[in-house]
Structure 1
Amino acid sequence: KEVSEEIDSVKQFSSELIVEAVVRCIRVIDPGLGSALPTSLPPGMSARFRVGMSLAQACQDIGYKGEIGYQTFLYSNEPEIRSLLMFLVEKLPRESAEASDQPTGKSAVLQRAIAAAIRAQLAVPWLPTNCRLPLHGETQGSGALHSFHVQPLSLPYCNKAPAKKHMKGSSTVDYILPPVTAQPSHHASVVASIMEQHTAELTAAQEWDNEWNSQGLLSRLTPQEYRSRKLTRLHKRIKEQLRSAALSSPDNSFSGPRSTSDLSELLQAFRGSAPSGEILTKGTHFTHTQKFTFTQESAALTPTIPTGRQSEGDNQLRQQEELASLQQQLQQLCSDVDQLTVLDELKQRELRNSDEDEKMQVKKKTIDLLPDADNNLLKLQDQVEASAKRVVNLASQWEKHRAPLIDEHRRLKEICSNQDLESSKKLSEIKSLHDKIRVSTEEAKKKEEIYKQLVTELENLPQDVSRSAYTQRILEIVSNIKKQKEEITKILSDTKELQKEINSLTGKLDRTFAVTDELVFKDAKKDESVRKSYKYLAALHENCNQLIQTIEDTGTILREIRDLEEQIETENGNKTVANLERILDDYKAIRQENAALAAKVREG
């Protein structure tokens, strides 16, 4: 709404104009809060009071601390409206100020309108098709909906394989990745697949950062060494699990221990669609390694990324061929596993037989020594005594070497503990440095954003205004302030001089009156004319005191008059009389509305 040219001050604002200005400012500051407020006052007085109360509450919600109520909008005065409008203007976001400085051509206006429409559509919550009302038809279209189906993608920076792969039984073939949009079999899965790929990479990076900050730093290794050690441990655990799954007990050669049941189920799942009559038994580590290697080679030979250009019939035919080949390979692997299991059982039986042979040899030697038991016992006692003497001798020698070794061990242990303390201190310092680096990086990003924002604001500022004009204006204001300070200082000095002069004259008058009173009082006892003069002198002094008091009272009254005149001007600015008349008119209107409502109630 345009303001009339006749209005040149806030005092001339009408209630309708004030309400519209406040509501528009609130809508810019907080769209959710201002969207429920009307931009104009309704005709009914009770509705006007409700609108005034809601506007006052909205201003308090956005942070206005001054006194505000419905009277601020219906019976406004200049100071309150001025302070409220200044508060709202200061709360306006900077984007609006920047937008006001932007060009107003047709292209710029169209772009701003498009951006505003997009922001409005993004602010509306999305609803499913079944829950949409007719009013949502403008903001939410009824386009085709697709399920969130994800397919694996191959990206150049994710593939560690070389650009050329050697195929088994064939020559070198160039391996070229198709575009990301062509990899999924359905075009509707492109966006979902890209989002899933990005989420997985971001999650992996965050998990690595957390693991490195919590466990990697404690290991005192480089990131490459930590990754290689972790990979080695993982391979070792897999080997141990496969080895434990391959070992079978004598009672049940087809079932492993309870701890490896999960791995057994996993190995059982590798059979896929093999016949139910064949049982996947446990094999050795070599068997599983061979199986996994063969599976990886077959997977490398088989293209896993659909090109998006083949027909559905070709895809189904290719999948059936792959399934048949995989089933054949799986049956071959199952037979190999059975053969290797039998070989493993034979090896275990040979080991048990060798143990039994050793035990039999010991028992045979014992039986051979039984006929000459006495002599053999004497020889055994001699050997035991010699062994005891040798043990005592070795113990004495060990004691000689033990003391320096213990001292050296204690010294090395103390050095190790000191090194652990130093390493823990350095580790804590490294962690604190990492935290400082993270905080500094965040601060640098924030400052970079602030810098960019300030540069944008500087570019959007009008360039036609010269700096010298602002500087000249500031210098003029400073010179005026200096002149005012000089005048105030001069007035204060004149006031001090006058006060000093008044004080000196008052003292001189008191001293003169005291001396004159004493001299005249002495002669008044002797002469009648002097006695009359003394009376006249006392009356003159009293009248002068009254005159001085009257002048002081006059000055006080003049100051009070000026204060009252200022208060009158303030009250005139507040339009108290006009507001009272409007309040009386509104009161009469409300009484009429109440009477009309009461009549309707009685008629009903």
Structure 2
Amino acid sequence: MEEVDKILIHALKQIGTEVSEETDSIKRFTSELIVESVVKCIRVIDPGLGSALPTSLPPGMSARFRVGMMLAQACQDIGYKGEIGYQTFLYSNEPEIRSLLMFLVEKLPRESAEASDQPTGKSVVLQRAISAAIKAQLAVPWLPPNCRLPLHYATQSQETLHSFHVQPLSLPQSSGKEHLKEVKDYQRDILLPITAQLSSRTCLVASVLEQHTAELSAAQEWDNEWNSQGLLSRLTPQEYRSRKLTRLHKRIEDQLRSAALPSSESAFGVSHATSDLSELLQSFSGSTHSDHILTKGSHFTHTQKFTFTQDTTAVTNPIPTVRQSEGDALLRQQEELTSLQQQFQQLCSHVSQLAADMKHTNVTNAQVMDELKKREQANSEKEEKILVKKKTIDLLPDTDNNLLKLQAVVEASSKRVINLATQWEKHRAPLIDEHRRLKEICSTQDLESSRKLSEIKSLHDKISVSTEEAKRKEEMHKQLVTELENLPQDASRAEYTQRILEIVSNIKKQKEEITKILCDTKELQKEINNLTGKLDRTFAVTDELVFKDAKKDESVRKSYKYLAALHENCNQLIQTIEDTGTILREIRDLEEQIEVENGKKTVANLERILDDYKAIRQENSALAAKIRDG
């Protein structure tokens, strides 16, 4: 049973059951560990059934009985045929738990039994190491810096903690295309390694992770875009990239042009207030009002500006006298500042008025231009009508001849139309046939291209699935190799093979001994049957002979009586021997039953049952007291 228990414990560990290293046999399983093992197995076998089961026993006894009944019902639902109940989990014995666990382990799916539902690959080893380190750090209580001993500085020192600070890295880009010689020389001779590009070595890991994440996300976005839109465009990846780059350049140019226009003109254009590029350009251009933007002015505005400049210059440069005090100078400066502010406000209002007038003039000019275009179009239509009426009036003096001429022209035109229609019909039929043929070819090509496109998509999906499967198997192989390397080297495969061969040879020897014992038993039974038959026949012949002589001789009659008594005593002796064998067999069976009952720990279970019974009575009395108080 030792090998069976090791196999069961190994399978339970694979599905996530926390079995300690000291537990090497089913005999050492506690009730909590039994419940956890059974629930983990049921969750792997039937997730829907196991999701409602708790992995630990509750503190209350009534709740423990309910959990035991739920587990027993769940085991019966998945096909367990043995005797099972709440006592199997609460008052367990070794044979019943072993048979139940053997059934559950055999019911586990192969994939789950081999790999369970845990991730595979080198990341598993790393995650286990990280989790072990975190558990070790969490197990150490946190202490203030002043109370820390030298033992705690290794795990709680602040010198090992750094903020996640990222700096840009310049990495050599490797691709299938040939780089320029200057680029290769730069990457070989001038480009610094990433450890020298950073201002601090604490940023190295964060910067590398950020760079790798950015490249990985860009590659995934390109794959998604190419599979969703690139394949439908029926272009090569290079053509698709160039077309996308051209569209981006065109969009940037449009945004730059619209941003360079004045606000009055761009208001009638395309709205780009929501564009990121427009917001960037607006932040570069500043938040000044459109009326304050420097534009090209007229001669009148320049003259007015020059006049106001001279006036302000004349005002701001008075010739102070020596007799003025400092207070008069400050008062004069305040008055000059007030007058300048008033002039500035007047100028601003005048400029705004001029801008409003200019806008009104532009709108009026646009309306006048539209009205002018409409009138010119109406004049051209009226001129055409006048020309037609003039030609008609010129034809009125010679009406008959003109009518004949018109009829002749109409007949000639109709004949020409009929001739042209006939010629068109001759050309139209082959053109229609050719059009239909080309249309059918196009539809066939479209269907073929759609079919090939769907095949390409399915191939892409299969390739991705195969790649993921290959990666998963490769990671599983690496994990198994790592676990094999971590296993103790003293236990070799040859030793395990030798142990298996020894077990097989012992089983063969036991089978041979059992077969030999059965053969001996059969021979003994056959010999006993032969002797019994021979004895019966001998007694029958002797009885017949002696009975014939007993009628004549008295001594022979006594001999016959002794013979009958001897035969009866021999039968009783044989019966006694058979009864003795039966009793010995019953004794052995009873001894085996006693050993089984001793293994079931009946006395300990009875004591536990009594304790649980007392706990239930206490709970019931507490509940009754609550009900009475309520």
TM-score (normalizing by structure 2):
0.49
- Shift in alpha-carbon separation, 1:448–1:235, aligned structure 2, 3 A: same
Specify the alignment match of 2:469 in structure 1.
443
C-alpha contact (below 8 Å) 2:32/2:56 kept by paired residues: no
C-alpha distance in 2, partners of 1:368/1:521? 172
- Residue of structure 2 in register with 1:135 after alignment: none
Which residue of the partner structure matches residue 498 of structure 2? 475
For residue 466 of structure 1, the aligned residue among 490, 510, 516 is 490
Partners of 1:27 and 1:33 within 8 A in 2: no
In the TM superposition, what are the counterparts of 1:173-252 in structure 2 within 5 Å?
213=227, 216-222=230-236
Give the letter aligned to residue 506 of structure 2. Answer: K
**Counterparts of 2:126 and 2:24, CA distance in 1:** 26
**Equivalent residue, structure 2, for 1:489:** 512
Q: Does 1:433 align with 2:459?
A: yes
* Aligned mates of 2:391, 2:219 — CA distance in 1: 66
Equivalents in 2 of 1:491, 1:347: separation in Å? 121
Counterpart CA distance in 2 for 1:102 and 1:298 is 49
Selected match of 2:593 from 567, 571, 576: 567
Q: Can you list the C-alpha shifts for 1:168-222, whole angstroms capped at 9, x where unaligned?
A: xxxxxxxxxxxxxxxxxxxxxxxxxxx9xx99x979976x866754565344334
Instruction: Give the structure 2 partner of residue 49 of structure 1.
Output: 61
1:221 counterpart SS class: coil
Identify if the C-alpha distance between structure 1 residues 319 and 392 changes in structure 2 by more than 3 Å, giving closer, same or farther. closer
1:384 aligns with 2:398: no
Q: Distance in 2 between matches of 1:494 and 1:341?
A: 123
Q: CA deviation at 1:429?
A: 0.6
- Residues 559-588 of structure 1 show CA distances to partners (whole Å, capped at 9, x for unaligned) of 444333222111112221343355446656
Residue 327 of structure 2 is matched in structure 1 by: none
| Structure 2: tracts of 5 or more residues without a match | 1-19, 44-50, 106-112, 142-167, 172-209, 252-257, 297-354
State the Cα distance separating 1:379 from its structure 2 match. 1.9
Residue equivalent to 2:152: none
Indicate how the Cα distance of structure 1 residues 100 and 50 shifts in structure 2: closer, same or farther if over 3 A, else same. Answer: farther
Do the aligned partners of residues 344 and 222 (structure 1) sit closer, same or farther apart at CA in structure 2, a change above 3 Å counting? farther
**Per-residue deviation, residues 307-344 of structure 1 (Å, max 9, x unmatched):** xxxxxxxxxxx955x45688667979968975984586
Instruction: Please say if residues 281 and 337 of structure 1, whose CA atoms lie closer than 8 Å, have aligned partners that are also in contact.
Output: no
**TM-score, normalised via structure 1 length:** 0.50
Deviations 1:79-105 (A, max 9, x none): 4677899999x999899x9799979xx
Deviation at 1:425, TM superposition (A): 1.7
Unaligned runs of 5+ in 1: 42-46, 119-153, 158-194, 238-266, 305-317
**Cα deviation per residue 1:283-314 (whole Å; 9 max; x = unaligned)?**
7xxxx69x99xx989965x765xxxxxxxxxx
User: Using a 3 Å threshold, how does the CA distance of structure 1 residues 424 and 473 change in structure 2: closer, same or farther?
Assistant: closer
Q: Which residue identity is paired with 2:234?
A: R
SS in 2 for 1:371: coil
1:115 to 1:538, Cα distance in 2 relative to 1, 3 A: same
Matches within 5 A, 1:548-587: 558-581=584-607, 583-584=609-610, 587=613
The count of aligned residue pairs is 453
* SS across alignment from 1:217: helix
- Distance across 1 between alignment mates of 2:362 and 2:244: 30
Counterpart of 1:443, as a letter, is: E
Question: 3-state DSSP class of the match of 1:391?
Answer: helix
How far the C-alpha of 1:515 sits from its partner, in A, is: 10
CA distance in 1, matches of 2:118, 2:417: 93
Cα distance between partner residues in 2 of 1:367 and 1:204: 80
Query: Quick one: structure 1 residues 72 and 234, their matched pair in 2 at CA, closer, same or farther if it must change by over 3 Å?
Result: closer
In the aligned structure 2, how far is the partner of 1:549 from the partner of 1:582?
A: 48
Shift of 1:478: 1.4
2:430 paired with 1:418: no
Matching residue's letter, 1:49: M
**Correspondences of 1:530-549 after superposition (within 5 Å):** none
Measure, in 2, the Cα distance between the counterparts of 1:591 and 1:59.
24
Indicate which of 339, 358, 364 corresponds to 2:390: 364
Distance 1:538 1:374 in 2: 171
Q: 2:137 is matched with which residue?
A: 114
Written as runs of structure 1 = structure 2, the 5 A alignment for 1:258-269 is none
Report the counterpart of residue 156 of structure 2 in structure 1. Answer: none
Residues 456, 601 of structure 1: CA spacing in aligned structure 2 closer, same or farther, 3 A cutoff? same
Give the counterpart letter for 1:371 in structure 2. Answer: P
More helix by share: 2
Q: Distance in 1 between matches of 2:462 and 2:230?
A: 18
Q: In the aligned structure 2, how far is the partner of 1:385 from the partner of 1:405?
A: 30
Compared with structure 1, are the counterparts of its residues 482 and 504 closer, same or farther at alpha carbon in structure 2 (3 Å cutoff)? same
Structure 1 CA distance for aligned equivalents of residues 169 and 384 of structure 2 = 62
The 1-side partners of 2:126 and 2:32 are apart by 21
Tell me which residue corresponds to 1:143. none
CA contact (8 A) 2:230 2:237 kept: yes
Q: What letter corresponds to residue 512 of structure 2 in structure 1?
A: T
Residues 39 and 55 in structure 2, CA contact (< 8 A), matched pair in contact too: no
Q: Which whole-Å CA distance do the structure 1 matches of 2:629 and 2:229 have between them?
A: 84
Q: Among the aligned pairs, what percent are the same residue?
A: 51
1:373 equivalent to 2:399? Answer: yes
Query: 1:442 and 1:92, CA in 2 relative to 1: closer, same or farther beyond 3 A?
Result: closer
**Which one has a bigger Cα radius of gyration?**
2
Deviation at 1:506, TM superposition (A): 4.0
| Amino acid in structure 1 at the alignment position of 2:500 | I
Superposition RMSD in Å: 7.1
Name the amino acid aligned to 1:477.
I
Output one character per residue of 1:356-414: Cα deviation in whole Å (capped at 9) or x when no partner.
43343334333333333332222222223223333333444444444444443443333
Q: 1:339/1:492 Cα in 2 relative to 1: closer, same or farther (>3 Å)? A: farther
Identify the range of structure 1 (343-352 vs 19-28) with the bigger mean alpha-carbon deviation: 19-28
